[in-house]
Structure 1
Amino acid sequence: MSATFNHTIIASTDKHASARFYRELLEAAEAPSWGPFANIRLADGVLLQFAEPPAEIQPQHYAFLVDDELFDRAYARLRDEGIEHWADPRRTRPGETNTEHGGRGVYFPDPSGHGLEMITRPYL
């Protein structure tokens, strides 16, 4: 069997709020939660587990490849909910999306301060 990505733990200030944010934005499925985790499952089976660590959260970057239709719906949610977003990772183009790499992309924060990115075409 070749290696595939199975799960990751995302540090959160409120694990339930973070799980809800990702689930609604990415239209992901709920997954059974246990112990310190609030879980969601992406369409490819990857499990995102949200936990509240007893330490300061260090911001991470998470990028999600989505189709054009989901991008449109998610981007509308970002705008409707007043979530700051940028066309670039340096945050010099606020309120915009980009058309790099043959698709569209946008950068925005999650409720715990992690940097998220949605793209419609993979970089490679």
Structure 2
Amino acid sequence: MPASFNHTIIAARDRGESATFLRELLELADAPSWGLFTNLLMPDGVLLQFAEPPVELIQPQHYAFLVDEELFDRAYARLVAAGREHWADPQRTRPGETNTEHGGRGVYFLDPAGHYLELTTKPYV
């Protein structure tokens, strides 16, 4: 069996808030949660586990999600409707825009814990 990505733990100030934000934005399924984790299941079977370490230990990370054009439109509309800051570039020099890099569309924004999220409609490679 070749290696595949199975799960990751995402640090959050409030694991429920962060999980709900991503679940609603990306239309993800809840997964059984246990112990310290609030879980979401990606369509490809990858498990996202949200946990609450001490706030001073949360280091901002970058998480990029590949979505189709229709989900991009719906998710982007939700970001705009919520008044959430977003940028076309990771340097945050193009606020309120999306990009057309890599032959698709993309957008960057922060989640409730301060992680830098990206939606893109085309893989980089």
**TM-score, scaled to structure 1:** 0.99
Runs of 4+ in 1 over 4 A off after TM superposition: none
- Mark the runs of 5 or more structure 2 residues left unpaired by the alignment: none
Matched, 1:4 2:4: yes
Q: 1:55 to 1:112 in 2, by over 3 A?
A: closer
The 8 Å contact of residues 13 and 55 in structure 2, kept in 1 or not, is answered as no
One-letter identity of the residue aligned with 1:119: T
Paired with 1:36 and 1:10, the residues of 2 have a C-alpha distance of 11
Matched, 1:14 2:14: yes
Residue 45 of structure 2: SS of its match in structure 1? coil
* More displaced stretch, 12-21 vs 52-61: 52-61
What's the C-alpha RMSD, in Å, of the aligned pairs? 0.6
- Mark the runs of 5 or more structure 1 residues left unpaired by the alignment: none
Match of 2:41 in 1: 41
Paired with 1:32 and 1:25, the residues of 2 have a C-alpha distance of 19
Paired with 1:46 and 1:98, the residues of 2 have a C-alpha distance of 26
**TM-score, scaled to structure 2:** 0.98
Superposed, 1:48-87 pairs within 5 Å as: 48-56=48-56, 57-87=58-88
Paired with 1:22 and 1:37, the residues of 2 have a C-alpha distance of 15
Match of 2:92 in 1: 91
Matched, 1:105 2:106: yes
Per-residue CA distance 1:47-90 (angstroms, 9 max, x = gap): 00000002521100000000000000000000000100000000
